[in-house]
């Protein structure tokens, strides 16, 4: 592989793994019977998978938020909060992240910027 393709491959792989991390955490938060020990086990497992992928700089607000989410979940894992509180925080932050991803589709698109004087 040439250098450009390799860079693109690493970027895509890292982005996908960040999104998988988010989705797995949200799936845990939506379970009714998840305990604190289950959460710790889950985070250990998905952080190990994330560590296998080479971290690349991403210049996008959405992926920056995903990286901060990974750090936040690591902090929750080290904390002493109950499972219900952890689930609520995960769901709240995940909803904010997903909303920031969708916000672009809600912006109104304008044609030509106004009236053309040539007519």
**pLDDT tens sequence across 42-70:** 999 999 999 999 999 988 889 999 999 99
- Report helix, strand or coil for 33: coil
Confidence at residue 6, expressed as pLDDT on a 0 to 100 scale: 93
pLDDT surpassing 80 at residue 106: no
Q: Which of 23-32, 35-44, 108-117 has the least mean pLDDT?
A: 108-117
pLDDT surpassing 80 at residue 82: yes
Confidence at residue 4, expressed as pLDDT on a 0 to 100 scale: 92
Confidence at residue 102, expressed as pLDDT on a 0 to 100 scale: 80
* Range 29-35 contact pairs with CB under 8 angstroms and sequence separation of 24 or more: 29/86, 29/87, 29/88, 29/90, 29/91, 29/94, 30/91, 34/83, 34/87, 35/83
Percent of the chain topping pLDDT 90? 56
For residue 31, is it left (φ>0), alpha (ψ between -120 and 50) or beta? Answer: beta
């Amino acid at each position: 592989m040439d250098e450009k393709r390799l860079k693109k491959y690493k970027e895509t792989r890292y982005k996908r793994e960040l999104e998988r991390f988010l989705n797995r955490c949200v799936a845990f938060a939506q379970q009714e019977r998840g305990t604190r020990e289950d959460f710790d086990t889950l985070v250990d497992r998905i952080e190990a998978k994330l560590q296998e992928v080479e971290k690349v700089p991403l210049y996008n607000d959405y992926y920056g938020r995903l990286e901060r989410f990974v750090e936040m979940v690591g902090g929750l894992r080290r904390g002493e909060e109950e499972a219900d509180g952890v689930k609520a925080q995960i769901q709240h932050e995940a909803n904010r992240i997903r909303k920031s991803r969708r916000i672009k589709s809600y912006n109104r698109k304008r044609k030509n910027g106004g009236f053309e004087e040539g007519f």
